[in-house]
A and B are shown apart, each in its own frame.
Chain A
Amino acid sequence: MIFEQVVFFFLAAVAASSAVLMLLQRNPVNSALFLILNFFSLGGLYLTLRAQFIAMVHIIVYAGAIMVLVLFVIMLLNLGDGRRLREVLSFKTYIGIGCSLALFTELFYILGMKGRMPLMPLAPNAQDIGTVEFLGKVMYTTYLFPFEITSLLLLAAIVGAVMLAKKKIPE
């Protein structure tokens, strides 16, 4: 279906270019805004994969909660001008770029080879998997124990964040 491909290529182009533009910004606030654009296009891509519930949760959690937290910290620390932070292109920079280019070439070679994976459509039950009903059923039966452990992880994160960020009270 041609419409599906147009939507995919549009969203993929937005996601890829916003990821690159994020790296090139000097101002961390601009980086954060490009990352939010990237998250929204990823949400659209999840919809093309029929993962409707994950798409919504992704936008709410990432764009709504995590990025707001990041923006708060950027503004709290007042780093907007980038004067405090000198970023220089050094030898190490080129090594870093070279290493990641090597990684991408490797992944491209593995994934992009024709005939390695058969050309297949989405699974016939992909439409049903993404619904809240189906995911909820699976999560509260098969994956109940990991789900409960998750609450412990979140509690530890809350306590840790408060412990680390609070001001030391002088005695």
Chain B
Amino acid sequence: MIPIEYYLLLSAFMFCAGVVGVLVRRNAIVVFMCIELMLNSVNLTLITFSAYFGDPGGQILVFFVMVVAAAEAAVGLAIVISLFRNKQTVNIDDINILKW
């Protein structure tokens, strides 16, 4: 029998690793992958609670998170491609046209 805290702690650790990646890495695609990592750690939390409390709502929500992640991947990568086409870089320090 595995205590529920173990799953939650693993998911918290993965979420924080994703936060470090988003804040520290400068490659837009790696930042993007770190966001996927954060989404997945939340998925793990949802499935953990769903399994321990016997409620299917958590697993259904994971489906919707996956749909949003797939849509986000398609649109986000399209944005990266069009940025690269315009500026020849994916370094997020160089992409600052929206900075006031």
Q: Which A residues fall within an 8 A CB radius of B?
A: 1, 4-5, 8, 12, 15-16, 19-20, 22-23, 28, 31-32, 35, 38-39, 42, 45-46, 48-51, 53-54, 57-58, 61-62, 65-66, 69-70, 73-74, 76-77, 79, 84-87, 92-93, 95-97, 99-101, 103-104, 107-108, 111-112, 117, 119-126, 129-130, 134-135, 138-139, 143, 146, 150, 153-154, 156-158, 160-165, 167
**Nearest Cβ distance between residue B57 and chain A, in whole angstroms?**
8
**Do the beta carbons of B66 and A58 come within 8 Å of each other?**
yes
Name the residue of chain B whose CB is nearest to the CB of A129: B56
**Do the beta carbons of A99 and B33 come within 8 Å of each other?**
no
**Do the beta carbons of A117 and B2 come within 8 Å of each other?**
no
Partner of A111, one of B12, B17, B70, B88: B12
**Do the beta carbons of A28 and B30 come within 8 Å of each other?**
yes
**Do the beta carbons of A50 and B66 come within 8 Å of each other?**
no
Q: Give bound CA distance, A119 to B44, whole Å.
A: 19
Known: A101-B16, A134-B56, A165-B82. 18 other contacts (CB 8 A): A16-B17, A23-B34, A38-B40, A45-B44, A51-B51, A54-B59, A62-B40, A77-B81, A77-B90, A85-B90, A93-B23, A100-B23, A104-B16, A122-B52, A146-B64, A153-B71, A157-B75, A158-B74
Chain A residues with CB under 8 A of B98: none
